[in-house]
Structure 1
Amino acid sequence: MIFRRLVLPFLAISLLSTAQGEEFTPEPGFISLFNGKDLSGWCFREKTKKDNPNPGAILAKFDGQTEAKDAGRYFAKDGILTVSFPTEMDKLTGQFYTVQEFPKNFILKMQFRASVNADSGIFIRKPQLQCRDYLVAGPDAYKTLKNYKAQDWNQIEVTVKDGVAHCTCNGEVLEAALALPATGPIGVEGDRGQMEYRHIQLKELP
């Protein structure tokens, strides 16, 4: 009995440590867009405006940094990219993008966990897919999702083919045909509350 009391707590601690320290391995054919350790490959970009001669231009990169220190809205730790609410008036730092752009057809997979009533988004070549605490924050069309897990990890999958994105959350359709430009980066947004993203992976298609 004494042996059991000693072993079981040790086993639980060991399993927890393994889970927290385990590195994510992309599925076959996929590349990881977030290394889980820092913000390498991610950046701030110039906002798209009618009078902007160079929309989408890279303003700042964060290779090797664990936090976007000039804003403090994005940080990497334990395999998770955490996004928090931006208070800047123009919300420039509310949008965070990959340096790489993706002109080919592709499949994007990522997991997210939303705080209560959190409001975020995923940018696909720039157009935004709403990513929120759906049952509370909506929009109304998403409040009836049956597979969404509140304050738990959920899977977003986006298939882009010929300029159109088909987007699902845990297998349920969010957007059946989201129109996209010819190329662009992948991005995430902070608008309200806290959002966590992990296992961000992409596979280019023929």
Structure 2
Amino acid sequence: MKRIAIASLLLATTSLHADDWQPEAGFKSLFNGKDLTGWCFRAKTDRKDPKIGEVTEKFDGKTTSSDNYYSAKDGVFSVNFPTEMDKLTGQIYTVEEFPKNFILKLEFRASVNADSGIFIRKPQLQCRDYLVAGPYKELKQYKPQEWNQVEVVVKDGVARCTCNGEVLEAEFKLPETGPIGLEGDRGLMEYRHIQLKAVE
């Protein structure tokens, strides 16, 4: 009985902490932890086109996307992508676009060999179970199947991207504006604490 009580207490504490999280000073949250408000599907565009597609469907107030592959619960944004799906359709974006310099911070947890991505305006930064799925297999600070932090610092059309402080991409070139997006390609990916701050 004591074990059950302790487990219930830990679960309640985890949920409480998820609900209590607030963005850092100067940052705004891009995910409210409860639903997909502010997120959308967009029309596909050619990869060579620097412009992102127009919004085709919004998910304000909804806890699950219309295709059931993106969901929000207890402070976690889940990306669960089936193997039979066309991976080119597995993308969800913020409605808002970000033309100014900014700092983006988020945490992710990858299932074994999971494959996802973070779209920065439009180009994709690979976000995966790195030590198994690559491409950054030499990371020393990455924690498999635990929460890891990605930070993206965008200045004058170039992003510096790190995971737990280790460099993923030092000079990631970007278009002039665009949204933040997440992709599902393989396995379960979970995101939380998605926050952004505009900077000079």
Normalised to the residue count of structure 2, the TM-score between the two structures is 0.91
In structure 2, how many angstroms separate the alpha carbons of the residues matched to 1:80 and 1:148? Answer: 19
Whether contact under 8 Å (1:49, 1:55) holds in the other structure is no
Match of 1:91, SS? helix
Aligned to 1:170: 164
How far residue 61 of structure 1 moved from its aligned partner, in angstroms, is 0.2
CA RMSD of aligned residues (A): 2.0
Q: Would you say 1:153 and 2:147 are equivalent positions? A: yes
Match of 1:43, SS? strand
Q: Which has the larger radius of gyration?
A: 1
Question: Which of residues 53, 56, 66 in structure 2 aligns to 1:56?
Answer: 53
How far residue 49 of structure 1 moved from its aligned partner, in angstroms, is 2.0
Aligned residue runs from structure 1 range 4-153, under 5 A: 10=5, 13-22=8-17, 23=19, 24-49=21-46, 55-69=52-66, 71-86=67-82, 87-89=84-86, 91-92=88-89, 94-139=90-135, 142-153=136-147
Question: Which residue identity is paired with 2:163?
Answer: C
How far residue 16 of structure 1 moved from its aligned partner, in angstroms, is 3.4
Question: Which residue identity is paired with 2:36?
Answer: L
Match of 2:152, SS? strand
Cα deviations by residue, 1:70-106 (Å, 9 ceiling, x for unpaired): x1110000100000115333632x0000000000000
In structure 1, how many angstroms separate the alpha carbons of the residues matched to 2:80 and 2:139? Answer: 24
Sequence identity (%): 65
In structure 1, how many angstroms separate the alpha carbons of the residues matched to 2:88 and 2:125? Answer: 17
Q: Name the stretch that deviates more: 108-117 or 78-87.
A: 78-87
Whether contact under 8 Å (1:111, 1:156) holds in the other structure is yes
Whether contact under 8 Å (1:45, 1:58) holds in the other structure is yes
How far residue 20 of structure 1 moved from its aligned partner, in angstroms, is 1.3
Match of 2:132, SS? helix
The 4+ residue runs of structure 1 with deviation greater than 4 A are 8-12
Whether contact under 8 Å (1:36, 1:80) holds in the other structure is yes
Question: Which residue identity is paired with 1:89?
Answer: D
